[in-house]
Structure 1
Amino acid sequence: MSYVIDDRQASLFQVNREVFTSREIFEKERELVFGPAWLYAGHESELPRRNDFRTRDVGGRSVIFNRDRHGDVRVLLNTCRHRGASLCRHPAGNAKIFTCFYHGWAYRNSGELVNVPAAEDYARSPVEVYQGLPGPRVESYRGFYFVNFSADPPDLHAWLGTSAYLLDLAADQSEDGIEILPGTHDYTLNANWKLLVENSIDGYHAKSVHHTYFEMMRELGQTPPMLGDAGTNGVPPAGLGTEFGHGHATLMYPGNGLPLATETVTRDLGVLRARAAERFGESYAAAVFDLARNTIFFPNFVLIDLNFGMILRTIMPLGPDRTQVSSWQIAPRGLGQESLRYRIDNALTFWGPAGLATPDDVEALEQAQRGFSARREMPWSDISKGMGKPRPAANDELQMRAWWRQWNAVVTGEERPREVDEFVPFDRPARETQGA
């Protein structure tokens, strides 16, 4: 069966709706998509001290994201060598040793097995036999840590390629970097995970799905972010979609300031922008602060970078029609308390599970999943908007097509060339290292 139609002559791109409902495809994705990919694990700011840890699911596996006693960041599989129970049942904390509550096997936070109760009853000491916990490959870029569970993963920097530019634009918003703010939004939806991937980089749906938010902003005398011109249904046509390698893609569009911001909040952002211009030049400062961006790093890591807040999002399939979402708010270091409160309020009221945007999106995606019950009669979804343009706009669908081409290549082995030339509108500043 063909999953993707990519007809350049007819400017037609379609996805077979079977990929959103099939148990067989879901199992293939777990092996072929999530097995060899670089997956986001966490940010360095979540582990400020030695022995700090966070537990979370990455690629369908429970892991311990931690900074060990030497200060090194590690990702350990959160399962005991003995009988498989979770080593750590706490979401966060500080610990040098992780001890399995089931039978008491204990491991250092660097992974070594160091104690087995009644070890004298074993013919060979489990400490010698098992050594410690196996861990995935761990690499970082600008404080973002990724893991890869394959035996021979590619270099992370090569995998990110030019798309790393989008991480730079976030990390360079303060000379002191960025930090994860306390708290996590975890929620599930009754829809296939790929629908939320599409939606996260979809500039076409904004006005129709989120009209309540836009109407509220107008009534308050504000210019809503992402609001398109009359006659469009999403972000302004002045924006653009960009296709990177390996399925990474973004939409960029002019930022519309800080809705409902106080003078202090506006001033704080202006100070950060001025400092960026001094460090990197006006052109790059404009890219950092004057453009909004929705980016997908294949397969499931999303960075939404707007003036009024930034979020990181991971999207994990639980089944063909069930998805787990985790989201974190990030902010430039050095912001005042009023600016931090402003961003946290936006994270809750706009992106939160009970906010003005997320419930709209969840409803749209769950309605799509219900609609797939008629997939025999209507087997194809259309993602052709803007195809054939020399430079697709942000409210076109180039970025989704880029992601789907990578998905199709991974699942079927059928590779297709990119649709348009890679385009980054501003030069990246020279720096000693991009990886630290």
Structure 2
Amino acid sequence: MTASTYVNDDRQNHLFQVNREVFTSQEILEKEKQEIFSKAWIYVGHESEIPNKGDFQTRDVAGRPVIFNRDRHGEVRVMLNSCLHRGASLCRHSSGNAKIFTCFYHGWAYRNSGELVNVPGNEDYKAEPAKVYEGLKGPAKVESYRGLYFVNFDEDAESLEDYLGEAKYFIDLVADQSPEGIAILEGTHKYSIKANWKLLVENSVDGYHAKSVHHTYFEMMMDLGATPPMLGEEIVNGVAPSGMGTEFPNGHATLMYPANGLPLATESVKETLAGMRRTAEERFGESYATAMFGLSRNSVFFPSFIVIDLSFGLTLRTMYPISPSETIVTGWQIIPKGVDEEFIKYRVDNALTFWGPAGLATPDDVEALEQAQKAFSTQAEIGWSDISKGMGKQMPAANDELQMRAWWREWNKRMTGEALPSEGKSFVPFQKQTTDA
């Protein structure tokens, strides 16, 4: 495949297509690892997961094992989880608290700030290892925004804040939901799907599939007397009931739609959410609070960081390819600090029953994506996937495909160097009037 045949962006005929070979080619996957995952900002974790000195989480980030920790000085670090001696994983626990990381293979030991402090049989080395090896290696850059930590393995990468750009607004809408901040709930959803990673990126900001793939959930909402998303009547902060899609530079994009209903919520849960909204109105003004609590949002931050913020739950999701046809997915739930146990339980229940690997939504999505991957064996006869819905509209709806096109244009730029112009559909509902964040 030549570089020019990845994406067909035909503005004159309002046609956008992606060559299906990008979902099946090992050669393309290897180039993605080099040009995307080694050069874009990749999410690692949130500061609430390592609140104390010595706390750590081990993660796989952009195909590399890392230790995400708070060192003995209280600084947040990201270090490659590989002993400098012979390469074994240095820390084999998923989380914990440690002052020293000791490699189980030959016993080399490192402080939680990275320095090599002990080598068994050190006297047998002509050159002292602690002087030869300065300490554990890390990514070229580690930066944070609103408590979310990202890494970049490219020394020449722009700053995280510049990279996020105007799309930071949709992180702010999460981080501002409580004056005390936000926290990741303990527990992780980690599972694999037999489909290309880019299919799940598309699906995460795809409003078009909701009514057909998730019809069971829509039926449940209606049985409970709630109005399903994109079926309401109220315009919220300029966003119609059908919702809208919006794009930003660097491949970030969002779909948003009026937040309808709190399925199975108790009166206490509803009052907690109403109280959060009143507090936000006092801090930031009514319009920003309405954007925060009156709109649901699915956002993608290129390449693979997803923030899904609905009235009944808030999830972070990342994905990384194992092969062209298999992807590892990791998800966490966020909670605004200061809420009571009943509200937390409500959010946890929804995390399990909606987003969980055995919930209402995820198995539907996995089945759809795996069926698509399976059918890509027909690419010799059906070579292109269509992502044209809403192209040419003055205001694309949430169930149009602007979000995916914005993401694909950035993917194409990084893979080929060809910069395709945006559709000029950037939009944020309302800014804060004041802030004490």
Alignment equivalent of 2:108, drawn from 102, 105, 116: 105
The residue aligned with 1:377 is 381
1:406 counterpart = 2:382: no
1:15 to 12, 15, 18: 18
Q: How far did residue 203 of structure 1 move?
A: 0.4
Q: Residue 71 of structure 1 corresponds to which residue in structure 2?
A: 74
Equivalent-residue separation in structure 2 for 1:328 and 1:250 (angstroms): 19
1:7-406 aligned within 5 A: 7-136=10-139, 137-225=141-229, 227=231, 238-406=242-410
Q: Secondary structure at the match of 1:199?
A: helix
- Whether the 8 Å CA contact 2:100–2:110 is kept in 1: the answer is yes
**CA separation in 1, counterparts of 2:375 and 2:433?**
47
1:294-317 per-residue CA deviation (whole Å, 9 max, x = no partner) reads 000000000000010000000111
The Cα offsets for residues 146-165 of structure 1, whole Å up to 9 and x where unpaired, read as 00111222111000000000
3-state SS of paired residue (1:132): coil
> Partner of 2:9: helix, strand, or coil?
strand
Displacement, 1:224? 3.1
Question: Quick one: structure 1 residues 226 and 120, their matched pair in 2 at CA, closer, same or farther if it must change by over 3 Å?
Answer: farther
Partner secondary structure for residue 110 of structure 2: strand
Which residue of structure 1 aligns with residue 6 of structure 2?
A: 3
Q: Could you tell me how far apart the structure 1 residues matched to 2:208 and 2:231 are?
A: 11
Q: What is the deviation of 1:221?
A: 3.0
What is the Cα-based RMSD across aligned positions, in Å? 1.4
The Cα shift of 1:347 comes to 0.3
Deviation at residue 236 of structure 1 after TM alignment: 7.1
Distance 2:167 2:434 in 1: 16
Q: Cα offset for 1:215?
A: 1.6
Q: Secondary structure at the match of 1:179?
A: strand
Amino acid corresponding to residue 292 of structure 1 in structure 2? S
The one-letter code matched in structure 1 to 2:43 is Y
- The runs of 5 or more residues in structure 2 that have no matched partner are 234-238
**What is the CA–CA distance in structure 2 between the aligned matches of 1:415 and 1:243, rounded to whole Å?**
15
- Give the whole-Å Cα distance in 1 for the aligned partners of 2:377 and 2:240: 34
Paired letter, 1:377: E
Deviation track 1:92-119 (CA, whole Å, cap 9, x = no partner) reads: 0000110000000111111111111111
Tell me the amino acid that sits aligned with residue 284 of structure 2: F
Give the superposition deviation at 1:339: 0.6
In structure 2, the CA distance between the partners of 1:287 and 1:237, relative to structure 1 (3 Å rule), is closer
CA contact under 8 A between 1:206 and 1:227: conserved in structure 2? no
Q: Is the 8 A contact 2:284 2:435 kept in 1?
A: no
Is the 2:230–2:242 contact (alpha carbons within 8 Å) kept by the matching residues of 1?
no
Identical columns (%):
68
Q: Does the 8 Å CA contact 1:243/1:249 hold for their aligned counterparts?
A: yes
Residues in 1 aligned to 2:122 and 2:374: alpha-carbon distance in whole angstroms = 55
Distance 1:227 1:100 in 2: 56
Answer with 237-246 or 62-71: which moved more: 237-246
* Structure 1 contact 201–296 (Cα < 8 Å) conserved: yes
Distance 1:347 1:151 in 2: 37
CA distance in 1, matches of 2:409, 2:278: 39
User: Does structure 1 retain, via aligned residues, the 8 Å contact 2:226–2:262?
Assistant: no
Counterpart code for 1:49 = N
Q: In 1, distance between residues paired with 2:231 and 2:89?
A: 46
CA displacement at 1:428 relative to structure 2 = 3.8
Quote the Cα distance in structure 2 between the aligned partners of 1:215 and 1:422. Answer: 33
8 A Cα contact 1:185 1:327, kept in partner: yes
Further displaced range: 109-118 or 419-428: 419-428
User: Are the equivalent residues in 2 in contact too, given 1:409–1:415 (CA < 8 A)?
Assistant: yes
**Equivalent residue pairs, number:** 428
8 Å Cα contact 1:178-1:330 kept in structure 2: yes
1:236–1:394: 8 Å Cα contact kept in structure 2?
A: no
Cα shift at 1:253: 0.5
- Which has the larger displacement, 329-338 or 357-366? 329-338
Q: 1:410 to 1:428 in 2, by over 3 A?
A: farther
CA deviation string 1:222-271 (max 9, x = no partner): 33345579xxxxx9753110100100000011000311111000000000
Q: CA deviation at 1:421?
A: 3.9
